[in-house]
């Protein structure tokens, strides 16, 4: 049995990781500043796993003393804490830098000093930027278009440096537009699927930034949980960067058509200016995840969308 620390464990993806760890009977500690996370997510995760709410530390992962306390006695760190939004990082690059770079450095130092066996980091497909070649392979060059993308790039490079300099085992899992239950539609910076589902269920028109032809490899959260947990135990992968996604490509116009169909909505979208820092197309090559982790998507996009709509409308 390992002891896990999940930073950002009260957030959307973090709470799903916590849920699966609790289901497996693991010991879990959560560090979260509740900026986008909520205690209700942790309670829901624990209830779904039939386990007590795990140990919770509230505060900033970039606070070195707190990060040190959080990493004490831990075997595996799942570093999910972040300010997770491209437009938010464009609006406020300094706060995003603090959360995404200072926070990552602090937890790396703490993990190194606590003798953590492995740290797995939430990377982002945004680091590929507008490289035209598709699908995106991990060996393609970085082309960040936003502070968020740059910060995620630096985060994964910091991991590799800690592996090279200090021998800390690290793995970056690059996420591709993750969605599912507990993704909060409460902010204009929320993920597009949560916003579309909310708009459709309230009979409101969604906003589409640009012509809606941009595409994303939308990934249901259970796939990410599976990929990340495989990365905690797979042998010989320290220092690696690995895409975990569905390997599909859905345009925003197609996405709205599907959400609208599932909810019986009749509104049509309002089209706005393209968002600064946005990339046009995104689709993952997941060959490396298959080879190194034995990963394959377990929940397809359409099924994930049905589950998400069911959850959002109280039938989940």
Q: Which residues bind ligand UD2 (CB under 6 A)?
A: 84-86, 124-126, 175-177, 191-192, 195, 206-209, 214, 216, 252, 275, 278-279, 282
8-state DSSP, 295: -
Is 128 considered catalytic here?
A: no
**Min dist. Cβ of residue 236 to ligand UD2 (A):** 26
Of residues 169, 6, 167, the one with CA closest to residue 77:
6
**Min dist. Cβ of residue 272 to ligand UD2 (A):** 8
Nearer to ligand UD2, 29 or 182 (CB): 182
| Tokens standing for residue 119 | 């740290």
Reduce the secondary structure of 42-107 to three states and give it as a string: HHHHHHHHCCCCCEEEECCCCCHHHHHHHHCCCCEEEECCCCCCHHHHHHCHHHHHHHHHHHHHHH
Nearer to ligand UD2, 27 or 251 (CB): 251
Nearer to ligand UD2, 39 or 90 (CB): 90
Rounded Cα gap, residues 163 and 295, in angstroms: 23
Q: Closest CB to ligand UD2 belongs to which residue?
A: 126
**Min dist. Cβ of residue 309 to ligand UD2 (A):** 16
**Min dist. Cβ of residue 192 to ligand UD2 (A):** 3
Rounded Cα gap, residues 105 and 134, in angstroms: 31
SS3 of residue 272 by DSSP:
strand
Nearer to ligand UD2, 204 or 296 (CB): 204
The residue from 128, 142, 148, 220 that is catalytic is: 148
**Min dist. Cβ of residue 136 to ligand UD2 (A):** 9
Nearer to ligand UD2, 88 or 307 (CB): 88
**What phi and psi, each to the nearest 5 degrees, are found at residue 89?**
-70, -30
| Tokens standing for residue 173 | 């899992």
Of residues 262, 271, 255, 166, the one with CA closest to residue 217:
255
Query: Which amino acids are annotated catalytic?
Result: 148
């Amino acid at each position: 049995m390992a002891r896990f620390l999940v930073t950002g464990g009260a957030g959307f993806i973090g709470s799903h990781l916590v849920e699966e760890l609790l289901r497996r009977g693991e010991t879990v500690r959560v560090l979260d500043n509740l900026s986008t996370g909520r205690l209700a997510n942790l309670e829901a995760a624990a209830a779904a796993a039939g386990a007590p709410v795990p140990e919770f530390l509230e505060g900033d992962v970039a606070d070195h003393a707190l990060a040190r306390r959080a990493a004490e006695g831990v075997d595996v760190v799942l570093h999910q804490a972040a300010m997770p939004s491209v437009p938010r990082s464009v609006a406020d690059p300094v706060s995003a830098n603090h959360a995404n770079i200072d926070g990552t450095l602090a937890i790396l130092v703490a993990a190194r000093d606590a003798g953590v066996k492995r740290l797995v980091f939430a990377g982002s497909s945004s680091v590929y930027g507008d490289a035209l070649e598709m699908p995106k392979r991990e060996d393609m060059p970085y082309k960040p278009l936003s502070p968020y993308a740059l910060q995620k790039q630096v985060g994964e490079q910091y991991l590799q440096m800690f592996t090279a300099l200090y021998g800390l085992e690290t793995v970056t899992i690059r996420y591709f537009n993750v969605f599912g239950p507990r993704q909060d539609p409460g902010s204009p910076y929320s993920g597009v699927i949560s916003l579309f589902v909310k708009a459709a269920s309230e009979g409101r028109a969604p906003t589409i930034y640009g012509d809606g032809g941009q595409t994303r490899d939308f990934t249901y959260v259970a796939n990410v949980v599976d990929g990340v947990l495989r990365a905690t135990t797979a042998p010989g992968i320290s220092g690696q960067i690995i895409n975990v996604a569905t390997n599909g490509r859905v345009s925003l116009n197609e996405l709205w058509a599907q959400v609208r169909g599932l909810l019986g909505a009749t509104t049509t979208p309002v089209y706005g200016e393209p968002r600064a820092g946005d990339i046009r197309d995104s689709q993952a090559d997941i060959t490396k995840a298959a080879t190194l982790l034995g990963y394959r998507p377990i929940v397809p996009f359409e099924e994930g969308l049905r589950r998400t709509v069911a959850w959002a409308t109280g039938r989940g």
